A and B are shown apart, each in its own frame.
Chain A
Amino acid sequence: MNLWAVLPVLVPLATALLCLALQRRPVAQRFVSLVGGASFLGIAVALVLGTAGGAVYETRLGNWPQPFAIRLSIDALGAALLAVSGAVLLALLAVPGRGECATARSPLVPPLVHGLMAGVGGAFSTADLFNLYVWFEVMLIAALGLIALGRERRHLDAALRYLVLNALAAVLLLCAVGGLYGVGGSLDFDALSLGLGGDGSPSAAATALVALALLALLIKSAAFPFGAWLPAAYPVLPTPILALFAGLLTKVGAYAVLRLVAQVAPAASAPLLEPLGWIAAATMVTGVLGAAYHQDLRRILSFHVISQIGYILLAISLGTRAAFAAALVYTVHHILVKANLFLIAGLVRRSGGSFDLRHLGGLASRPALALVFAIPAASLIGLPLTSGFWAKLTVVKLCFAEGRYTFGVLALLVGGLTLYSMAKVWIEAFWKEPPDPYYPRRVPKMAFVATFALAALTLALGVYPEPLLVFAELAAALGPGGAR
């Protein structure tokens, strides 16, 4: 029994319980919450360092023999995603979440946030398909609680939408998991992989059920045309929680797609990769068009979440080990950048008094805010010396190398539209004269600590991406034989 493999679930679960118990003592609750977040990050970093050396942290719960036990197995892929999740968690806990709406101040936020992290931790650790479904459910309920916390009509409307569409995804996923168990004879990733035909010739039934599972996961990852729920639900949240949602929730879906395609059912999913590529392309394009259209900063960023998910799915759909590595690089980059941009949107709101570009202006007179926005924005566009450049470059390069020129060209063009959207934000919010002379206001220095830390991470990965690329290459050895 390896304790390390259980910690990403147990630590946030324990933190959530403690935070719940400390509801009426805000200072103590905040302290516990921060300690819990820091421990999560610390554990994840230790796991990354361990897996970089080739270790896999594995435990069979209850010590039942494989494949009868639920197996937790943290490999390089899981560890990397746990680490960026931990970084985002700590950053958003560190951002003082006052001001935007009642939700941010509620003492129920920390228990729900850590409860959600337990789901995230479980999903990135487990090597069991049904157990993965359970953690999805944990995330769904915690997310639903966070959305409904605002209690106003708009929050409840958003919660209802989120619930209905995600519950539908959950039902589909449950059916697919049951079906895959029926066809493959196991729930353990490795045993199931063998049952589904491994690397050889899978049955048509296996392919059909993998398609059903992918459908559920595509809804979870907000891919086109299943992603309509996301921009409808997100903007009612306060930005720190929005950062958590945008950074992590859809990415867990994309992660599960990667596990399924690369590890559990490489052969069975082969016929699905071509349509998956087109879904990914449509996701990229429609997402960025939504961002180009909207004027509310939260909506703009929400649509970019969809667009970026498209890049990750596109990489997965190429189906080679290098492409899986590119998908991981893109996911790591995207979690860091997108969560940060939402945190910064909160700072923009504090300084400029609004999320709406039409009511913003003159923020360039706040150099720290301008700089901390410019770095992740440049990374989202994919300018050199940011993590986004390497993430996009590897995806486009692999598209070209695989002869998928249409996908590569589309990926480049979506980068151009991202440039348009970010230039719009910059020109409207930062350059234009403020419509209201009371703004922009000063933002306390402490509010910048977390955002600058995340910005520094994306810059560091941009200046010297080699360690991440090498690590991703190692982590992408997922299939039964390691690679294809």
Chain B
Amino acid sequence: MAAVEGPLVPTPRWVQLAWLAPAALFAVVALGLVPEGQWSAPWVPSLLIEFALRVDGLTRLMLALISGVGTAVFFYAPGYLAGDARLPRLMALLVAFFLAMVGAVVADDPWTLLLFWEATSVLSFLLVGFDRANRAARDAARHALLITGFGGLCLIGGLLLVQLAAPGLKLSDLTHLEGAHPGALGSSLFHGGVALVVIGALTKSAQFPFHAWLPGAMTAPTPVSAYLHSATMVKLGVYLLARFDPAMDAVPWWHHTLLAVGAFTAVFASVQTLRERDLKRILAWSTVAALGTLTMLLGLSDALSGVAFTAFLLAHALYKAPLFFVAGNVDHEAGTRQIDHLRGMRKALPFTAAAAVLAGASMAGLPSSLGVVAKDAMQRAKDSVDIDWYVSATSIAVSVVAVAVAAVATLRVFFGPPNDELARSPHPQGLRMSLPPIALAVVGLLLGLWHAPIEGALLAAARSVAPFGELELEVLWPTRLDGILLAVVGGALLFWQWDRVHRWLEGFRGLDAIGPASLYERALAALKAGAGTVTRTAQHGVLGRYVAVLALAGAVWALPFLVRAPLPAAGPLSAGDAGLAAGCLAVLAGAGLAVVARDVLGRLLGAGLVGLGSAVVFLFGGAPDVAFTQLAVETVFVVVAATALARYRVASDTPPAPKWRLVAAVALGGLLGLASLVVFAAPFDPSLTNFFGAASLPEAHGRNVTNVVLVDFRAFDTLGEIAVLLLVGVAALPLLRRNTGKGAKA
């Protein structure tokens, strides 16, 4: 996607100058103009949510990282996509992302954090899918969104639980949790909440088993990979873990989880690194490994681990971002990222080659780079606490692979005889593309040689992670070289045998089959299939079955409550009861006829008989006026319906309904029958009837109480019913007009 076809589009001025925004923030942070402190404004008081911000050592480090790498990325992007009409969109999304990241690391209220956290997820989705015509990019974007979105849900649930245990908890409270929220740590709600927060953080930082989205996200343009998917956004997860670390430090499951997940992720990703041939995907897997290392460091309970964490956080951003730029430049120039084809690129890209060497040295942890500072701090952190053997083994293995990857990205790609078969881009790479990798790599190297300027900042950040008393400043000087030597030698061996190891590891197809990437695919397929099954089962489209399901489910819902209500006691029979019984018999006979009859006219007569029986019931039940109305309505209905049926010759023979629907019909009838029995059993309060009877003549001036009820006491109901009649007329109008017979069925 690097080379652009067709006419070049001029780059708007704001896109060219966008890098000034992060540069300005970087200057402000570097000059120490951002004071430490807390600031808050009421946002949603009824939910105890504030818009709260806070700046401390770790925030400053993250701000410097976001703005520093951001400056390089914003400077680089207009060169990388020069002349592409989509460049302004890319820059707009990147600027929005920059702001969201800044918000996320200065947030103090967890919901303020969540707001920016979700914003980074959405922007990552839009940026991974930037090349939207490309199907792979769309799928990768969906993968990233679903995994980080799932993480966001876990985070929401976790924060809710945490705040149930500690109402109104701020992130800054986590350094002194016992003082701010006494007893919170003893509550299982708090631990459950933190566990969910951990899952959310692990998805964001691409930790096992949620890591698979990150290598896929490499379909994004290089500036996006360098910025979001190595230097900043994926660090947000470990950043959040670092925020919870002071509070959870004394909790065993916290250590064990972070150590185990981090170590496993680091090893797993290192193995995957060796199985890749695409330069960007190699870098992506090594990023996952680095994030695993960071997670593991948080699992160590020691002040030194805090120093190691912050130093590695910084060092990784300063070497991985340039390496991504390098990969982008190589891709831009040669049109491929396959390391099989890439060699001797130093002639074509001298500056990029220099940047690769410098960044590679830092990644390998060679002496005098910032990388070695980080590695040394890690080494000593592990020495100072009693740790499981696998943690040491992991870190050595990961270091060895890191050295080999650094060598592949520098020596293999840039040295040796050039590959003449490779195409060369017609566009020369200007300052925009050469300067950012060099600049970041040089900064990384300089800080390794002379880290006085950042000592204070790193220690302040470390104190936010592990606030245990005073730390010694000398801690930053490398003291142990044996581990580093071991890594370099091992890495050199691995680099020497790279192709053989690669072929050997590539054979392990099982790794792909059980890996979470396929787990995601399978879950997605299962979701589609399951949704299909459920939906097709519920949405069969057969009206009779809808009614039957409704009747059965309704009976299941209401019967348990109906059977608990008392039923009326049997009383002595009177003469009127014989009439009632006759009416009931007529109703039953009509209903039976309606069910049994095979032709429509028979069913209509059955329904008419039901109405007739009801009229008899009303007559003997003390409501002769209702009985006469019912009789009139029923007669008219049967006559009109029969005439209509005769005219339209509706097909008489419909297939008999399946037997089980009888159960549904009986259930519904039983339900309503039981309900009326229950009502009869209850003592009736006659005050309404009495009032209507008494007030009808003197106040409403009407002798027929029923009429007065209709036109006065409850005239508003009558108004509604008139509206119903009116609307029926309106609804029927189009059906009556020019009827072609299509509408006969309704």
Contacts and interface: CB of A to CB of B under 8 A. Distances in A.
Interface in A32-74: 61-62, 64, 67-70, 72
B115 A385 contact: yes
Contacts of A312: none
Contacts of B538: 225, 228, 286, 290
Contacts of B260: none
Interface in B482-541: 527-528, 530-532, 534-536, 538-539, 541
B745 A208 contact: no
Given A118-B723, A156-B743, A204 B565 contact: yes
B562 interface: yes
Nearest to A176: B675
- Interface residue SS majority, chain B: helix
B723 A138 contact: yes
Interface in B680-709: 680-682, 684-688, 691-692, 695
Interface residues of A, number: 118
A328 to B, nearest CB: 13
A413 B43 CA distance: 27
B572 interface: no
Interface stretch (A129-137, A436-444, A476-484): A129-137
Contacts of B743: 151, 156
B47 A394 contact: yes
B149 interface: yes
A153 B721 CA distance: 29
Nearest to B121: A383
Contacts of A146: 731
Nearest to B137: A431
Interface stretch (B139-147, B397-405, B577-585, B612-620): B139-147
Contact of B715 (A61, A130, A364, A415): A61
A142 B727 contact: yes
- Interface residue SS majority, chain A: helix
B678 A205 contact: yes
A164 B730 contact: no
Interface string B543-554: 100110111011
B554 A416 contact: no
A217 B743 CA distance: 30
Contacts of A112: 727, 730-731
A290 B539 contact: yes
B195 to A, nearest CB: 13
A160 B735 CA distance: 13
B96 interface: no
A384 B745 contact: no
Contacts of B692: 68
Given A131-B720, A419-B146, A205 B679 contact: yes
Contacts of A286: 534-535, 538
A247 interface: no
Interface stretch (A93-101, A177-185, A313-321, A332-340): A177-185
Contacts of A135: 720
Interface string B657-686: 000000000000001100110111110111
A175 B678 CA distance: 12
B685 A131 contact: no
B133 interface: yes
B734 interface: yes
Nearest to B737: A151
B129 interface: yes
Contacts of A231: 539
A412 B164 contact: no
B564 interface: yes
Given A106-B734, A160-B543, A431-B138, A62 B712 contact: yes
A148 to B, nearest CB: 6
Contact of A172 (B114, B554, B746): B554
A195 interface: yes
A293 interface: yes
A262 interface: no
A420 B745 CA distance: 40
A44 to B, nearest CB: 19
Nearest to B132: A431
B728 interface: yes
Nearest to B671: A212
A142 B727 CA distance: 6
B678 A416 contact: no
A31 interface: no
A174 to B, nearest CB: 10
B160 interface: yes
B599 interface: no
Contacts of A431: 129, 132, 138
A130 B720 CA distance: 11
B714 interface: yes
B44 interface: yes
Given A108-B733, A383-B118, A204 B561 contact: yes
B450 interface: no
Contacts of A211: 557-558, 561-562
14 contacts: A67-B688, A68-B692, A112-B727, A137-B724, A145-B727, A179-B676, A182-B679, A203-B565, A204-B566, A205-B566, A207-B564, A211-B561, A408-B160, A423-B142
Given A225-B538, A473-B46, 12 more contacts: A137-B724, A141-B724, A151-B743, A161-B543, A185-B687, A207-B561, A207-B564, A226-B554, A232-B541, A286-B534, A408-B157, A469-B44
